[in-house]
A and B are shown apart, each in its own frame.
Chain A
Amino acid sequence: MHDVVKEAANFISLDWMNIAYLFIVGFVGGLVSGFIGSGGAFVLTPAMMSLGVPGLVAVASNMCHKFPKALVGALKRAKYGQVDVKLGLVFGVSAEAGVLFGAHIQESIRKAFGDAGSNLYVSLAFVVILGIVGTFVLRDALKIYRNGNTSEEEKVTRLSKWVQSINIPGTMVYFKSLNAKVSVLFTIPLGFATGMLAATIAVGGFIGVPSMIYVLGAPSLMASASELVVAFVMGLGGSFKYAMNGLVDIRLAMIILAGSLFGIQLGAIGTTYVKPVMVKMVMGVIMIIVLFSRGLMIPVYLSQLGLIQTLSEGTVKVLKNTSFAIMALALLIGAFIILRAIWQGRRAERMVTKEVIGHGRI
């Protein structure tokens, strides 16, 4: 570990361009997190690495900005009555266990197949999980739009009705977001899976939020808000673990935090202007775009492992850059949808106010 600490001590020097870059990426990441409960990490870590930050330090510093950001976001959304603290904590603690297990698997894969093997595992996990969950979330959102009943209350899925109907004595806990009792034998494995995914692709919320919605039956606004509690618990534990080994570059973490606290407040405000289906829409869109971005990298890792013909350096570079650009695009599209929703919501509100005032005068 001494070597790692020594490596970490040689943190990069920061100039104003780097600071501005991290601030902006932090802002956009925060905006999306405040809205859908997760996101940003998959761009932030590579963004730091592109400045020359070693991978492990980038992951550690990302963690250290994540938990205070999630805390601020959760507090804000709690004000709007969207947070189920109990559900967040139950998920969070089991997610912490999932993170440890996921990190262990990563370590074993790296030992057996090297960095390329581990990267391939991460990319495959991205593609398979985002492919399944992302398609499902997006299809659900589109179905609601097509039916034209976006204002209607969200329907509880058949699966969640079944989960809520199972009574296992001694394990039942009441969750206010579900307005029902659910056995922790269901919530613990879901939290564990969230943590495992967080340890693998850095964004556990892609499992956490959909599982709260579709498996447990939580409304999407509450699921995305409660995920911030999960992110806080996971981030705090993770940051401490990395900080014990001296891997956190606090300057990077705090600069990203500077931008992301502006973003997360705005994202949280955004949720009060939209219909719940919008959360599903933004989440689904981001998941599918990110899936393509990671998919592009698979041939690179396959070639590094010698499983396919070796790719030329130029091709690898093009694939890498395109992949990063697509990821950044995913965040920007998410940010655009959120900002537009706030803009439209505020304009509609102003028009209603004007009408009311106008009527009052007559």
Chain B
Amino acid sequence: MGSSYGKKKPIWKMIIMGVISIALYATLLMKQDIINDLFTRGGLYAFLPIVMAFIFSFFHGSFTGNFWRVLGIRAAKKKKEVK
């Protein structure tokens, strides 16, 4: 289905990653109290914010990357010569 939009516009990927990102952010904002309580206990609980940052960066990073591609904003076709 997505192929009708052409290979270069990952619309479905963007939508899926967008929905996951929204779900993640909605959970974060709706469960603020519990999350704040758990994440600020210190010690080994320090892994929680780190893991969460990785999860958010994976899904949201993929969403934002696809978002710009869908808008047609991609890297220059002729890459700069980088040595």
Question: Do A and B make up one complex?
Answer: yes
Provide the bound-state CA to CA distance between A69 and B60, in Å.
10
Question: How many residues does chain A have at the interface if contact means C-beta atoms less than 8 Å apart?
Answer: 54
A247 partner, pick from B32, B40, B43, B60, beta carbons under 8 A = B40
Whether a CB of chain B sits under 8 angstroms from the CB of A117 is: no
The interface residues of chain B lying within 8 Å CB-to-CB of A65 are 53
A-B pairs with beta carbons under 8 A, tally: 133
Size of chain B's interface in residues, with CB distance under 8 A?
40
Q: Which residue of B lies closest to A241 (CB)?
A: B46
The dominant DSSP class at the B interface is helix
Which of the segments A160-168, A261-269, A326-334 contacts the partner chain?
A: A261-269
Residues of B whose CB lies within 8 Å of any CB of A are 21, 25, 28-29, 32, 35-37, 39-43, 45-50, 52-54, 56-57, 60-61, 64-65, 67-68, 73-77, 79-83
Contact of A250 among B36, B42, B81 (CB under 8 A): B36
Neighbour of B50 across the interface among A1, A72, A179, A236, CB < 8 A: A236
Contact B50 A239, beta carbon cutoff 8 Å: yes
Q: Is the CB of B36 within 8 A of A11?
A: yes
Within the complex, the shortest CB–CB distance from B60 to chain A, in Å, comes to 5
Q: Which residues of A lie under 8 Å from residue B64 when comparing CB positions?
A: 72, 261-262, 265
Question: In the bound complex, do residue A80 and residue B46 qualify as a contact, i.e. CB atoms below 8 Å apart?
Answer: no
**Cβ–Cβ contact B37 & A9, under 8 A:** yes
A82 and B77 alpha carbons, distance in the complex (Å): 15
Residues of A within 8 A of B (CB): 1, 5, 8-9, 11, 14, 64-65, 67-69, 71-72, 75-76, 79-82, 153, 179, 219, 221-222, 236, 239-240, 243-251, 253-254, 257-258, 261-262, 265-266, 269, 271-273, 275-276, 342, 345-346, 349
Chain A residues with Cβ below 8 Å from B45 are: 243, 246
B49 touching A253, Cβ below 8 Å: yes
Q: Evaluate contact between A276 and B80: CB separation under 8 angstroms.
A: yes
Residues of chain B with a CB closer than 8 A to A69's CB: 57
A219 to B83, CA, bound (A): 7
Residues of B close to A272: CB separation below 8 A: 75-76, 79-80
